[in-house]
Structure 1
Amino acid sequence: MIEHLVDDLGVVLRRDLVAAGINDTAIGRLLRGGVLVRMRHGVYALTSLWSVAGDRQRHLMLARGVMTLYGDDVALSHSSAALAYGAPDWRVPTDVVHLTSLFAVGERTQARVRHHQGTCRVQDLSRFEGHWITSPLRTALDAASILPREPAVCVLDWFLRKQLVTAAEITEALTIRQDWSDHLDLVLKSSLARVGSDSVGETRSRLIFGDLGLPEPVLQMEVHDTSGHLVGIVDFAWPEHGVIVEFDGAEKYHRYRRPGETIEQMVMREKRREDRIRELTGWAIIRVSWADLANPAALRARLQRYLRPAAA
C-alpha cells in the first residue's frame, strides 16, 4: 500500500514513489488497478480521494502537486491562489493551475500549468503550506485580471468581505501597476467591487441591478425596533423608495442556521424576521433567487414598479 507516501490531500509525486522503490512499471499497475489517478505528468493522487472530490478540490490537489514539483522557483497565483485562500469558485476555470515565476521565466501553458511572468515584490508574496503564494492583494487583482467581469467581481468582493484587502489598498495597487496591459480592465472591475456583498448571489444581484439601470442600493442595512434592538440585516435596501430585496440562496440558510436547528425551523425564523421588518418599516420586501438572475428582463419588470422613477 502507498497511503504512507501521499500527503493530506492524497497527492504524491512520481519522484517520491520511485524513491520508495515503486518504479514506473509498478506505478502503471497502480494506475490500471484504480489505486492512483494521474493528474499531470509526474503528479498523482489516490483515486479514492480524487473520485469524491469536486472541481474545486481537484484543482487544489493538482495545485499542491505542482507546487511540490516546482518548489520555490514559483508562487501559486491568480485564480489558483484565490481558490487556495478560499475565494468562491463560481465560473472560475479549474482545469489549469496558475503559477507566477519568481525568476522571469517566459509565459507558457503546458501540462495543465499556466506559467505567468510578472515582477513580484517582497510584499507580493506569502508562505502557504510550505510554498510561495501571491499575497491576498496581488492575488485578488491577478485573479480578477484573467476572469470575466462577474466572477472577477465575486472574487474581489470576497477578499473585501474577509478583510484580506481593503478598497484603499486596491486603489493604491492599481496606481502602481498602471503600465500593466490589464490596467484599464482591472480599474473597471475593481470599481464594481463593494464591501457588503456576502455571497456570490448577492454580488451577481448587485451587478445585474446596475446593468438594469437601477439606483445603487444600500448594502447590509440594519433594521432596529423602537427600543434600538437589532431585528435584522437586509441584503439590499432603497430607503428613498421603501424597498428591500433579499437574495434567497441556499448558502444563506446554511450560513445563518443555528446549532441544532432544522432547515424548517430556520425558514420559519427567517419568515418571522421578515414579517417584523415589514411591520417596522412598512417597506416592500422582494425575494430574488438564482432563477431570477437568469432572467434579468423579468427581474427588471418585477422591480420596476417599486423603483420606477430611477429605472425609467
Structure 2
Amino acid sequence: MLSRILRRLGWAAVVLWGTTVITFLIVHAVPADPVRVYAGANADAETIERIRAEMGFDDPLIVQYGRYIGNLLRGDLGTSLVTGERVLDALLARFPVTLSLALTAVCLWMLMSVPLGVLTAKYRGRAIDRTVLIVSLVAISLPVFWLARMLQYYLAYQTGLFPVGGWAGWTHIILPSATLALVITGYYARLVHTNMVEVLNADYVRVARAKGIPEYVVLFKHGLRNAVIPVITVLGLDMAALMGGVVFTENVFALPGLGVLALQSVFNLDVPMIMGVVLFSATMVVCANIVVDFVYMWIDPRVEGM
C-alpha cells in the first residue's frame, strides 16, 4: 500500500511539473505582448520597456521559469497583471464554486447512468434498451455550450423554474450541473450496460441464479459490483474532460468559478493568472485520479497487490 501511494505521488509530481513547463512555453509562444496589454494602448515604447524590466519579462525564458518555480515552491503563484490580486487568493475564492459544480455533476450522472445501464442490460434487445441507446447517442453528440443555452432559455428564461445565472444559493447549481451530467450520462449508461451484459453472462452469475438467489441480489450484488469497476477507472480519466466542460458551463451561467477566471485571464493575457488556473486545475484532476485509484482498490482489493 505504501509503495503504491508513493508511486502515485511521484507520478503526480511529474505530471504537475510537466504542466508548468508546457503552460509556460505556450504562454510565452503567444505573439501578443502581455506587457503592452498591461501598459495600455497609449503607453510609449520607453514606458513599455521599463515595465517589462520591472516584471522580469526581459530575462531569458530559463531565468523566468526558474524564478516562477522558486516562487511556486514557496507557495507564491504571483500577482494578477490586471487586478493586482494574489493569484492564489483568486483561485481559492473561486474554487468552492467549481468544486460544487463538478461534484454535483458527477453525482447526477452516476445516479442516472448506473440505473439506466443496469436496466438496459436486464432488458437487452427490448424497446427500453433501444430507446436508451438512441437517447444516449444524441446526448453524447450535444455540445456542452449549446445544451447549456437550451436549458437556460427554456427552464430559466421561459418558465422561471430556475435562476438564469449567478451564484446565490443551491438552486443556481442545478442547471449547470444538469448540463454536464446530461452530456456524459449517455456514455456512462452504455458503459455500464456493456459491462453488465458481460458480467451477467459469466458462469458465477448463472450459478447464483440456479441456486434461486433473488434477481435483484444477482443484479446489484453479483453483477453491478463487478461491472462498475471499469466505470470507476474511466471516471478518473474523464476528470480532465469534465474541467473543460466546466469552463463553458460556468461562462454560460455566469458562475464565479475557475472556468470564468480562466477565460478572463486568457482574454486579458494575464500570464500569472493563466499559469495559476492551469496548474490549479491540473492539481484538481490529479487529486481526483488519486481518489479514484483508492476507490478502485476498495472495490477490488486485488488491485492493491498489482
TM-score clears 0.5: no
> Normalised by the size of structure 2, how large is the TM-score?
0.23
- Where relative contact order (Cα < 8 A, 6+ residues apart) is larger, the structure is 2
Higher helix share: 2
> Normalised by the size of structure 1, how large is the TM-score?
0.23
